[in-house]
């Protein structure tokens, strides 16, 4: 009986410490954004109603993520959602939504890409997950390109540059379809066919857009 009590009691301080550390990090993040906005005269107080809840949501996901196991995924999801809400609050605080909106593409895509290392057991599920994660990396690149365009660092002129990202998506799906040929699993040919068709169509459409051949 006493051993059980000591075991439970020794686990509580660690959990409490992780929660306190997460809340402390959230508080520092809110303070940093607020102080910076005030120092450059871009402070919008009402954005705090989005900034603070976003920080707290992200903080609540940290301890779950540290526990590992099945709770890690829930913690990761909560932390990503909180980070996205916090970023919206920060952009509103600085009055920079017009310039920073590509972050709304980058952060969710980066969150999905961050699951790349979580490999499902079944080869077909693993291929599908890997495809989605790699496509998310393309989404990160797309958002970064929009961010550079908004900042005036990149100018593609009248080119339909986003066709290149369609081609990239087609290549990613095509390569993952080819990778499935290494596995002897049921419905392998059907899965490969379902991946190859959209991959080729997407690549060709992206090529037409990039070359400016689209008639509409």
Question: Which has the closest alpha carbon to 210: 167, 174, 169?
Answer: 167
Find, among 131, 136, 117, 121, the residue nearest to 175 by Cα.
131
CA dist list (Å): 161 to 20, 101, 145, 151: 46, 19, 10, 17
With b for 16 or more beta-carbon neighbours within 10 A and e for fewer, the 157-169 pattern comes to eeebbebbbbbbb
**pLDDT tens string 122-139:** 777 888 888 999 999 999
pLDDT digits (tens, 9 = 90+) for 90-105: 999 999 998 999 999 9
pLDDT at 51 over 90: yes
Could you tell me if 67 and 75 are in contact, meaning their C-beta atoms sit under 8 angstroms apart? yes
Q: Write the pLDDT tens digit of every residue in 155-198.
A: 888 788 989 999 999 999 999 888 888 777 777 777 788 888 88
Is residue 24 within 8 A of residue 17, CB to CB? The reply is no
- Secondary element (H or E) of residue 208: helix 188-211
Higher pLDDT, 104 or 73: 104
Q: What is the pLDDT of residue 216?
A: 55
The count of C-alpha atoms lying within 13 angstroms of the C-alpha of 5, restricted to the half-sphere facing its C-beta, is: 2
Q: Residue for token digits 């060709």?
A: 204
Three-state secondary structure of 171-202: HHHHHHHHHHHHCCCCCHHHHHHHHHHHHHHH
The CA distance from 160 to 172, in Å, is 20
214: confidence class by pLDDT, cuts 50, 70, 90: low
């Amino acid at each position: 009986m006493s051993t059980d009590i000591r075991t439970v009691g020794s686990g509580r301080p660690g959990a409490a410490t992780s929660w306190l550390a997460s809340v402390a990090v959230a508080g520092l993040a809110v303070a940093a954004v607020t102080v910076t906005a005030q120092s450059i005269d871009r402070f919008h107080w009402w954005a705090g109603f989005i900034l603070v809840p976003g920080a707290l949501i992200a903080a609540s996901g940290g301890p779950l993520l540290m526990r590992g196991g099945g709770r890690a995924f829930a913690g990761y999801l909560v932390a990503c959602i909180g980070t996205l809400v916090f970023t919206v609050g920060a952009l509103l605080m600085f009055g920079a939504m017009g310039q920073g909106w590509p972050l709304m593409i980058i952060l969710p895509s980066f969150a999905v890409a961050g699951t790349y290392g979580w490999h499902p057991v079944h080869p077909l599920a693993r291929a599908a997950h890997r495809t989605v994660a790699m496509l998310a990396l393309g989404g990160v690149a797309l958002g970064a390109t929009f961010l550079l365009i908004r900042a005036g660092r990149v100018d593609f002129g009248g080119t339909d540059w986003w066709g290149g990202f369609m081609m990239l998506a087609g290549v990613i799906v095509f390569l993952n379809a080819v990778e499935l040929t290494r596995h002897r699993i049921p419905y392998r040919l059907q899965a490969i066919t379902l991946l190859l068709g959209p991959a080729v169509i997407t690549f060709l459409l992206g090529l037409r857009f990039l070359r400016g051949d689209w008639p509409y």
